[in-house]
Amino acid sequence: MSDDFDPQQMVLRFRERAEAVKRRGLPPVEGPDRQRFLEAARIDFQDYAMLGDAVATLENGILRLEIDLRPRP
């Protein structure tokens, strides 16, 4: 792992990816392919958004991502 790796920058990139998924348009697909595309976009957003909310730390070469999945009040 590079000495210049910044875990917070990685988290920010995931936030940007989540926003990009929300903004991307729907290609001209129909039928079952359309539903598969929408489901893939939903999962992509969910994954990127969770990682974008992570608290990242790098200690002794170990990257830890803490993600609070408890419901917000």
> What tokens appear for 43 in the block?
């999962």
pTM of the full structure: 0.81
54-71 burial, b for 16+ CB within 10 Å, e for fewer? bebeeeeeeeeeeeeeee
User: What are 20-68's pLDDT values in tens digits?
Assistant: 999 998 889 899 999 999 999 999 999 999 999 999 999 999 999 999 9
Distance CA 12, CA 3 (A): 18
pLDDT band for position 2 (50/70/90)?
A: low
Distance CA 15, CA 47 (A): 10
Domain boundaries, the chain: 7-66
- pLDDT of 6 > 60? The answer is yes
